Amino acid sequence: MSDDTKPRPNGATVFVPWPWKIPGKIGATYYWNPGSPDAPHFTITRQYGFPSAGIHAVFLRKGMTSQDTIGNGIRGNISTFVPSISVDGTLPRGEYEPWKSRVTAIEAGGQISPEISPAVTSTYTPQQFLHLLMSPAGGPQDELPPRPQSPQTGQGTVSPPTEPPVRYLSKRYLNPLGEPMTGWASSVSADGPQYVAPAPAQTAPEAQSGPGGLYGLLFGPGSDWR
């Protein structure tokens, strides 16, 4: 708003329905007095809600610039065709609670239907809106570029361990059975009794061959009748 006692508009905005049957409205605002030399003269706003199409003059709040309208916010409207009054609020970056919204602009003009309704808005610079159209999809945090952060430097320290390490690779754990062929007790001592295999059984010599039958009994080898 100007410093004079009579407020003068800083710009003008036009809202129309989204093309291609996309729900909501899209608006374009031109600021001939954006409030600061480096503030944008042109912004684009997506609007989800009931306020219908119309044209309004935009009065920036005292101390605000068009840059303060960039981001997510809310918009309240009351209309009887003409006049139509809207209050625009912008949330601080990273905030999503509506009660944390700050009033950045007042709009006055006319629209095509009488109503009292709120709306959710997202306002961009032309560069941000072009980036949004070229992106696949994203939430509120993806729609605006991240705030630049300065790198931080520091020095870290490593303290000595408070407990001794577990010796998983000690000799005891590497060879739990001892050295090969050592540490094994024998069940038989070298000085003890030795096991001797029994000698094979002696078989009786075969009897000498001779005639059999009664004749062999009487006259064969070993017979007393010979």
pLDDT tens per residue, range 160-172: 767 766 665 555 5
Question: Is 195 a residue whose pLDDT tops 70?
Answer: no
Q: Please state, in angstroms and rounded to a whole number, the distance separating the CA atoms of residues 217 and 197.
A: 41
pLDDT in tens, 4-13: 567 899 999 9
- Residue 95: the pLDDT is 82
Q: Please state, in angstroms and rounded to a whole number, the distance separating the CA atoms of residues 7 and 59.
A: 8
- Answer whether 78's CB lies under 8 Å from 17's CB: no
pLDDT in tens, 35-88: 999 999 999 999 887 667 889 999 999 999 999 999 999 988 888 878 889 999
Rounded mean pLDDT, 100-125: 88
- Residue 132: the pLDDT is 84
Break the chain into its structural domains and give their ranges: 11-142
Question: Which residues partner with 25 through β-bridges?
Answer: 17, 47
Question: Is 18 a residue whose pLDDT tops 80?
Answer: no
- Residue 138: the pLDDT is 47
Question: Is 191 a residue whose pLDDT tops 80?
Answer: no
11-142: CATH topology is Lipocalin (2.40.128)
- Answer whether 132's CB lies under 8 Å from 122's CB: no
pLDDT in tens, 118-139: 888 999 999 999 988 887 654 4
Question: Whole-model pTM?
Answer: 0.55
Q: Please state, in angstroms and rounded to a whole number, the distance separating the CA atoms of residues 25 and 19.
A: 9
Q: What angle do CA 73, 15, 80 make, to 5 degrees?
A: 95
Question: Is 1 a residue whose pLDDT tops 60?
Answer: no
Rounded to the nearest integer, the mean pLDDT of the chain is 76
120 burial via Cβ count (<10 Å: 0-12, 13-18, 19+): middle
- Answer whether 89's CB lies under 8 Å from 101's CB: yes
Q: Read off the tokens for 45.
A: 């706003």
The amino acid at 226: R
- Residue 194: the pLDDT is 61
Q: Read off the tokens for 100.
A: 């944390």
Q: Please state, in angstroms and rounded to a whole number, the distance separating the CA atoms of residues 216 and 209.
A: 10
- Residue 154: the pLDDT is 66
